[in-house]
Structure 1
Amino acid sequence: MSKEDIEDNIESVEDQQTEDMFEHHHVIADVGQDAVRIDKFLMDRLANVSRNRLQNIAKAGSLIVNGNPVKSNYKVRAKDDISVVLPYPVREIKLVAEDIPIDIVYEDDALVIVNKPANMVVHPGFGNYSGTLLNAIVYHFEGLPQREDYFGRPGLVHRIDKHTTGILVVAKTELALTHLAKQFYDRTSERKYYALVWGDVVEDEGTITGHIGRSKKNRKVFQVYEEDEGFGKDATTHYKVVERFRYVTLVECKLETGRTHQIRVHFKHIGHPLFHDLEYGGDRILKGTTFAKYQQFINNCFKLIPGQALHAKTLGLTHPTTGERLFFDSELPTGFTQLLEKWRNYTKIN
């Protein structure tokens, strides 16, 4: 395997997010199937899945037979249609604990809510084997009282890009990970982002759709494909305008799906790349005047943030053990706040 193939494989895993992070196993019992417990039935058919893990999956409501969740002692019958949603197994990269400061918004025995800063990769991968959010979380976990149901490692439920800031949830136990994974898979979690995009977005609110897949020309980025092209996965982004600055617009985005780079790709697709997006063309002047003073203003704005102006503002989910609906909100980081203030001042005096 070539170095490029290896990089592709690593990047494809790193790029998987939310729904894409989870294997969806589908099995139909044979016509002559004898009645047998479903956990035993699946152990014989799914590689590297323990009985204990299947029981946790059932507790989380992720073991589905003929459209309904079942317990691990359910007896499989002929022609049963069985579905299982599992988090991807941990990759063959050792997570080394590193004493890196992290902003923990909320924590209990089941999960941790973290406010990720800019310029931090979430998970170790090619070119980023240390200094990641998970390295910091592992260090934090090592300082906690250990229980039997602890992973001993973080359970990553979803990811946000290196330069994107904001709210992330990390599971502490296998049951919590499985339960949260199903919420993201079923799209019952709620996520809202703030993004500053180039141009004056015409509609006050709207919906962007389009299948998203890796670019055939540049494997490091993604693009929108038409449905009849048979490439990529369906993606839906709802947005509404929060504030207008003549040449750029602040929008709130609600994700219905969670494809890689979804907001960045969708807004580029409709002609409004994210401000200072290094991969999708937002790191150059796309709207405004040709005056040197304006060009200097934009360059000063670029210096306030390391990459795209995108912040995971809120996250709503159901607690995996209590069933309580939780909602978390995060303030915009300093650089993003300063960026908006500069645009407010600019539009007032120009």
Structure 2
Amino acid sequence: MKKITCETTYTVHVHENKAGMRLDKLLSEEVEGLSRARLKGLMEDGHVFVGDLDGAAVMDGKKKARVGDVYIICVPPAVAAEPEAQNIPLDVVYEDDDVIVIDKPPGLVVHPAAGNADGTLVNALLAHCKGSLSGIGGVARPGIVHRLDKGTGGLMVAAKNDAAHTSLSEQFADHSLDRAYYALVWGVPKPLAGEIEGHIGRSPQNRKKMAVVERGGKYALTRYKVLKAFGTVASLVECRLATGRTHQIRVHLTSIGHPLIGDPLYGGGGRSRRSLLNDAARARVDALDHQALYAFELGFTHPRTGLRVLNKKKIPLFIKEIMCELEKV
């Protein structure tokens, strides 16, 4: 029998007023500091038991709780991160004992995966934080609470301990964070401010793409505002996320006919507009090897102090350079 090692254990008794509740919901309400997502992971890994640690493992969070049942939650020690620490320069915007906010450059992959075994943000964080990163994200993703696409630059927050990771994960789940992006797009959205809604799922035509789908997918809402128009050719748009879906801004803006300049996956709609550019602007756009998207604002409630932490950055140079040439078109 596999030996179970627990760093922390919690005991939960099911009382009459909790009978019939989903087990994952009940346990998350009864145990402070463990989110529903974290409990789901513990269940799937066989770390929740009936009666005692020698009892049967409960792996289905949908199971209905019964009066009199006793559940033992075993929280194992954080798994040591396997990626190698690498001395990759980081632009640190904010840092304390619990969290670190960095300005990720476009082109930097967030965590190791197939095709990117190292040279990632995780490798850089391991060197910078010297082992002080949350283990909840798993072996390959220590400290990582959310991600930005490889080609998207901007503000990201990472957790230095499990309590911070749990708190930030819950804020991402309930959409209580402030997240805003600069997006340089083809054309000028009409109206100049509004909301884009639409369920986002895997594109049936191209499995590498996401798309606004009529059936399935996950609900997504993006609020946008045109900050500056360059004739009818292009515009700088501020986007604020009310939800956080894969490629959400890229997909939503493409769905209304205004793909991001430089987007290698969704930017095909800019071909006709590209012909309207002068040589200098066209050269600047052609030199861009990633989408013109930048996460300039990130606000969250600090896991320890409960105070609001708001980080903001100015328009990045790679977008400013294109805007400068668009001004002359």
> TM-score, normalization: structure 2?
0.74
Give the match for residue 239 of structure 2.
253
277-286 or 211-220: bigger deviation? 277-286
* Identical-pair percentage: 42
Cα distance in 1 for residues equivalent to 2:269 and 2:113? 25
Matched, 1:171 2:154: no
| SS, match of residue 206 in structure 2 | coil
Matched, 1:191 2:188: no
Match of 1:236 among 204, 212, 221: 221
Give the match for residue 34 of structure 2.
none
Higher relative contact order, structure no. (Cα contacts within 8 Å, ≥ 6 residues apart):
1
CA displacement, residues 109-150 of structure 1 (integer Å, 9 cap, x when unaligned): 100000000111111111111111111001112276x9999x
Match of 2:103 among 110, 115, 120: 115
**Equivalences for residues 85-234 of structure 1 within 5 A:** 94-142=82-130, 154-226=142-214, 229=215, 231-234=216-219
Matched, 1:305 2:302: no
| SS, match of residue 314 in structure 2 | coil
| SS, match of residue 124 in structure 1 | coil
Cα distance in 1 for residues equivalent to 2:145 and 2:135? 21
Look up the equivalent residue of 1:239 and give its one-letter code.
Answer: Y
**RMSD over equivalenced CA pairs, Å:** 3.4
Give the match for residue 253 of structure 2.
267
Look up the equivalent residue of 1:321 and give its one-letter code.
Answer: R
Residues 295 and 49 (structure 1 numbering): CA distance in 2 closer, same or farther, change over 3 Å? farther
Look up the equivalent residue of 1:205 and give its one-letter code.
Answer: A
Give the deviation of 1:269 after TM superposition: 0.4
Residues 143 and 123 (structure 1 numbering): CA distance in 2 closer, same or farther, change over 3 Å? closer
Matched, 1:330 2:318: no
What are the ranges of 5 or more consecutive residues in structure 1 without an aligned counterpart? 1-27, 52-75, 81-88
Cα distance in 1 for residues equivalent to 2:86 and 2:135? 23
Aligned length: 273
- Does structure 1 retain, via aligned residues, the 8 Å contact 2:263–2:290? yes
| SS, match of residue 285 in structure 1 | helix
> TM-score, normalization: structure 1?
0.70
Give the match for residue 9 of structure 1.
none
Give the deviation of 1:337 after TM superposition: 1.5
Give the match for residue 75 of structure 2.
none
Residues 201 and 124 (structure 1 numbering): CA distance in 2 closer, same or farther, change over 3 Å? same
Give the deviation of 1:217 after TM superposition: 2.5
Look up the equivalent residue of 1:108 and give its one-letter code.
Answer: D
Give the match for residue 17 of structure 1.
none
- Does structure 2 retain, via aligned residues, the 8 Å contact 1:304–1:338? no
| SS, match of residue 183 in structure 2 | strand
| SS, match of residue 196 in structure 1 | strand
Cα distance in 2 for residues equivalent to 1:252 and 1:181? 24
Cα distance in 2 for residues equivalent to 1:240 and 1:79? 55
Give the deviation of 1:332 after TM superposition: 2.6
CA displacement, residues 215-267 of structure 1 (integer Å, 9 cap, x when unaligned): 122221100012xx2x1100000000100002001100010000000000001
Cα distance in 2 for residues equivalent to 1:324 and 1:315? 14
- Does structure 2 retain, via aligned residues, the 8 Å contact 1:110–1:172? yes
